[in-house]
Amino acid sequence: MTVWVSKGLQYPIVYLPFAFNRWVPEPDLILFHDGPTRCLHVGGKDSPDYREVERLGREESAGDDSRLTYVALTRAQAQVVAVTFNITVPANTDGSGRTVHIAGSFPPPYPQWDPASNPATRIDATHWTVTLNMLDGTQIDYKYALGDWNYVEKGASCDELGNRNLVVVSGPGGTQTVNDTVLNWRNVSPCGN
């Protein structure tokens, strides 16, 4: 659907893959306003007023593009938020030979409560990170695991933990940062089963 047709309508998600293309083509025809009159420049590139007319045409075109982009950006019912989970883990995590994963009640396309999906990226021995895209206002429950529920996060005394909770809230630039700490893992010293 074109942006022109979408005016006045709303959609759950709006993708604008080419909205911010910085390439500006050289126009074959230059349209501009001379006062209230819309004009088409027919003098060609060699005409004495070409530079001024080209400048006016580019300014008007940029203004039209800005207004059209605003229309497109305001068609979404909710904003997609890039939620980055920064995870601090016990120093013995690397020794387990396993990857940190996040599992939870995530919306599609993410699997529900699968401890082997949504792997995090290792930053260093005690820090991992993963970013998931979700709609603003989404409520989720989640836990960290080492790829298997037999290696789920545990408390300071190796106690069972309830689910972590989060409401997705759009911050600067459509992002949200969550900083979590895992104290222990099931079946990794000092915790047993």
pLDDT for 30 beyond 90? no
- Span 46-74, pLDDT tens digits: 889 888 988 888 888 888 888 877 777 77
Q: Is the preceding peptide bond at 109 cis, omega within 30 degrees of 0?
A: yes
Domain segments of the chain: what residues?
3-73, 80-185
Q: What is the pLDDT of residue 22?
A: 66
Check residue 120 and give its pLDDT. Answer: 97
Give whole-number Cα distances, 90 to 36, 67, 84, 115, in Å.
69, 51, 19, 18
Fold annotation for 80-185? Immunoglobulin-like (2.60.40)
> Is residue 53 a contact partner of residue 29, using CB atoms and an 8 Å limit?
no
pLDDT digits (tens, 9 = 90+) for 62-118: 888 888 777 777 777 777 899 999 999 999 999 999 999 999 999 999 999 999 999
For 25, the token pair is: 């083509």
Q: Which has the higher per-residue pLDDT, 138 or 43?
A: 138
- pTM, two decimals, is 0.66
In Å, what is the CA distance from 43 to each residue of 49, 59, 81, 84, 117? 8, 19, 49, 55, 62
pLDDT tens for each residue of 135-166: 899 999 999 999 999 999 999 999 999 999 99
